[in-house]
A and B are shown apart, each in its own frame.
Chain A
Amino acid sequence: MAVRRKLIKERVPTPERPAEERIHDFKEVNLGYTFELAVKEAERCLQCPVNYAPCIKGCPVHINIPGFIGKLVEYRDDPDKAVKEALQVIWACNSLPATTGRVCPQEDQCEMNCVMGRVGDKINIGKLERFVADYAREKGIDEELLFEMVPKIEKKGQKVAIIGAGPAGLTAAGELAKLGYDVTIYEALHEPGGVLIYGIPEFRLPKSIVQSEIEKLKKLGVKILTDHIVGRTVTIEELLQEYDAVFIGSGAGTPRLINAPGINLNGIYTANEFLTRVNLMKAYKFPEYDTPVKVGKKVIVIGAGNTAMDAARSARRFGAEVIIAYRRGPEDVSARVEEVHHAKEEGVKFEFFLNPVEFIGDENGNVKAVKFEKMKALDERDKRGKRKIVGTGEYVTIEADTVIIAIGKHPNRLIINTPGLKVERGRIVVDENLMTSIPGVFAGGDAIRGEATVILAMGDGRRAAKAIHEYLTKKREGQNA
């Protein structure tokens, strides 16, 4: 019987930089726990039994959450050991904890049903996970752990090609390399990382974290070919001649546009273009960096997901007045709670039940206003459980010199046009082993799900690696027989 501890109802807060300070730069907003604070928060966890713990059930990759949290408390006198043990528990299910700890929608996943919620604040699982990963990285504990594994890797002599270096592809690559396969990633852009590098801003996920993950992969022997666009530079058919299996993790990178007059006016960006200019190309440092971006005085961001929050908060950092306009109501905002909270703190305004119907331009082809129809919600719900909305016939026009469209994305077109690849509604169709209609070709992440999350993409990468391992083991045995 465990020692009964006093219930500590309140979360140990993580230090954050004040809004007035942070809207002038792109440095990280949340500073994370120190070891002492992490232990204090870890102590609040009731250590529910593994087969019951609702946090584990809520995590899409089923991390043994009480397990890793418990290590922090157990080895509180030896921080390095505590972190190493905790990291080992996390790594059994998740190889990108520094990222997921920062970007998972914890409130809908691991933290949703945490039993502490019945008496006080839920355990801050995300920040604890982030702490473990950050501390390990800063102290080199992650590399140490990784290289304890490396000499044990038995080379299989088979080659796997991975398409796309986002969370799905990176995870699949890492897992397959650890299993002894010769892995090569084909990435279209000049830097690996996928949305983690071109989409999610520095103030939420520092690029150095993603780069450190990639360095680790390289040390595992994974080769990364940037500037290679599968479908143009090389086709899947050609890859199959050179490799024993292929994994598609090409994401959902095609931005959706609004079918309304004026969509091509200057000053109307897709969130992807805006964020790519700002994050990947570092336009916030123009002209030190060559890529320009134009952020006017009044910015309207259309949409209310994570992408919209990232675009809005980035625009705020250029000194603009920013409005988020969403066609539904506040209860349907899909962004993480923390992002909405941070956006509000940073002075982003929210306008609900506005549906854009026209973009109005000036004589030079620059946008100057957006005309919206006011919407209202009905009691009836749609398939996704959101209240249906209808137009009211009333219109309102709001001035803006920059508009950012953040209403979602489709899977990348180049890949889905592969002959023989079965695709439904733009998504690659896979079986229960994540194999596509082409034997030996697997897929995961946003390419099969449409827009989803980092942890689901990562989970797919892991699952696919396992399936590929089984597939290639059979292939090996077939050849040896």
Chain B
Amino acid sequence: MPYKILDKKELAPKHVMYKIEAPHVARKVQPGQFVIVRAFPNGERIPLTPVMWDREDGWIVLITFVRGKTTMRMANELKPGDPILNVAGPLGNPAPIEKFGRVLAVGLSAGIVEVFPIAKALQEAGNDVTTLHVAPAPMAILKDEFRENVSRHIFEGFEIQEGWRTKEIVAEIARRGAEKVKELLSEENFDFVLTVGPAGAQKAVFNVVKEFGIPMHADLHPIMVDGTGMCGACRVMVGGEVKFACIDGPGFDAYKVDWDELIHRVGFYTDLERKALEEYLKSLRGE
């Protein structure tokens, strides 16, 4: 069931936006839900998040952060007019859209794209929403969209130092995120915090929020395969129980998540992912 790409844009380095015809998803999707995309015949199924949509016109917008083979291949090989082979969904449970009061919604790195629909809905539900985006300076995205839709948007950027690789960048995102959240929570009162982003950085932010005892919701990103509750790849320990993030989540009470286990689990395939990426880069160089 191919789904047509209506538009494609690079929003910032490594951040690619796809507008895709997917009426079945557009009709039903709620903030906090995701889709599973399969872009190539020999490709993986990867979870991505509808950031915007139009129920009537039947399109959704996905924004990928180019990090491995699949996201890079999509960026390199897909163009407007091309089909995406599969877009399954919507999947997962909607985020809790309730009246909390003052909300701080934190997007760590590309996690900000998933924050957008939730923050917008929370604002529409009568909350006073501050969004915080922590990322390398050139990667500020969706600034205007946030400013139009929430009370306040803060971009906390930093320069990438010579010799930094992903590991150092993610560490900096965690450090900056934790610091900025600490500053905000010390100076202002918030009733609810929400985060999306790399597990390590989410944990760092959680450790700060915990000190203030504010309720916190975390959207988790374990590795997924089917997204329908059939495989158990996405299992996470929440409140001492095994949960499947794709059907029980992806959002959970941050206080109940076993963060260290999650961090281990998302890193399980790092070596093979690197291998796949290297082989792909080699093939691009014609080797």
Contact = CB atoms under 8 A, between A and B. Distances in A.
B156 interface: no
Nearest to B264: A365
**Consensus secondary structure, chain B interface:** mixed
A189 interface: yes
Contacts, number: 133
Given A229-B91, A232-B91, A233-B28, A412 B272 contact: no
Q: Which of B86, B89, B231, B269 has the most CB of A within 10 A?
A: B231
Interface string A370-393: 000000000000000000000000
A277 interface: yes
Interface stretch (A281-289, A314-322, A419-427): A281-289
Contacts of B33: 232
Given A232-B90, A276-B225, A292 B232 contact: no
Given A234-B28, A292-B276, A365-B264, A412 B1 contact: no
B180 interface: no
Contact of B230 (A232, A254, A267): A254
Interface in B198-247: 225-226, 228-233, 235-237, 242, 247
Nearest to B30: A232
B25 interface: yes
Interface string A241-274: 0000000000001110100000111110110110
B89 A227 contact: yes
B265 interface: yes
B45 interface: yes
A190 interface: yes
A233 to B, nearest CB: 5
A414 B232 contact: no
A232 B28 contact: yes
A216 to B, nearest CB: 19
Given A190-B38, A264-B237, A286-B276, A228 B232 contact: no
Contact of B242 (A263, A281, A412, A414): A263
Interface residues of B, number: 47
**Consensus secondary structure, chain A interface:** loop
B279 interface: yes
B90 A233 contact: yes
A427 B75 CA distance: 44
Interface string B22-33: 001100100001
Contacts of A188: 88, 226, 228, 230
B86 A190 contact: yes
Contact of B232 (A255, A282, A287, A291): A255
A227 B269 contact: no
Nearest to B70: A290
A412 B230 CA distance: 7
Contacts of B228: 188-189, 229, 253, 412, 414
Contact of B229 (A198, A233, A254, A291): A254
Interface string A208-240: 000000000000000001111100111000000
B52 interface: no
Contacts of B85: 190
Interface of A: 188-190, 198, 225-229, 232-234, 253-255, 257, 263-267, 269-270, 272-273, 276-277, 281-282, 285-292, 294, 364-366, 412-414
Q: Which 8 A-B pairs have the closest CB atoms?
A: A365-B264, A227-B88, A273-B231, A292-B272, A253-B230, A270-B232, A190-B86, A290-B44
